[in-house]
Structure 1
Amino acid sequence: MGYLLWIFGFMGSHRFYYGRQITGVIWFFTLGLFFIGWIIDLLLIPGMSRSADSRFKSGPVDYDLAWILLTFLGWAGVHRMYMGKWITGVIYLCTGGLFLLGVLWDYLTLNEQLSDVNRGY
């Protein structure tokens, strides 16, 4: 999954996926540190994956699918609808992911949101 998100890594999606919010924000605003850090990350993904596996637990709402939906359709709120958050999903759909600021917020918090949703099951 990390390699798939790395394709859009210049937006930091793979860094957010692995729970590295600070560097994810830096990648988001600098296009992966002007694409240089993005290329270096290709070598760092295995270590980031091992670290994230120990922190985040799976459940009925799949992390990988939610991250794919956020990365490719975040502006439309499809990831929020998938998690059962229909109202905010429709709001995202009508506002372009709250003008992409909501998408950035979800990049920052999606792992925690998924943990909370999966705990409820």
Structure 2
Amino acid sequence: MTDPAPMLPPKDTAITYILWFFLGVFGVHHFYMGKVGRGILWLLTGGLFLIGWIVDLFTIPSQVRNVNARRAMGYR
């Protein structure tokens, strides 16, 4: 039998907001949360032409909660 996946540390909302503020147009906050596909999309489109960057201002808390819930269940 294999051991269950080790518990992954939770992501922090404050760190996500700091990354969003300074480097969010490049998608760094999405890379931090493990959302590589979305990070690449932000990187190539300038945060979806800044509209997605502004939307993230309001959705980061729920995004971090969802990522942390998935990590608690053992998903990466």
Same fold (TM > 0.5): yes
Residue aligning to 2:4: none
Work out the CA distance in 2 between the residues paired with 1:97 and 1:104: 9
Q: How do residues 1-121 of structure 1 correspond to structure 2 at under 5 angstroms?
A: 60-121=10-71
Q: Which runs of 5+ in 2 are unaligned?
A: 1-8, 72-76
CA-CA distance at 1:120 after TM superposition: 1.2
Matches of 1:91 and 1:99, distance apart in 2: 11
TM-score under structure 1 length normalisation = 0.50
**Bigger relative CO (Cα 8 Å, ≥ 6 apart):** 2
1:92 counterpart letter in structure 2: W
**Which stretches of structure 1, 4 residues or longer, exceed 3 Å deviation after superposition?**
none
Q: Which amino acid aligns with 1:115?
A: R
User: What CA RMSD, in Å, does the superposition of the two structures yield over aligned residues?
Assistant: 1.0
Gaps of 5+ in 1: 1-58
For residues 15 and 56 of structure 2, what CA distance do their matches in structure 1 show? 14
Q: Once the 2 structures are TM-superposed, how far is the Cα of residue 60 of structure 1 from its aligned partner?
A: 1.1
Q: What is the letter of the counterpart of residue 111 of structure 1?
A: P
Identity %: 44
**Shift, 1:73, TM fit:** 0.6
With normalisation by structure 2, the TM-score equals 0.78
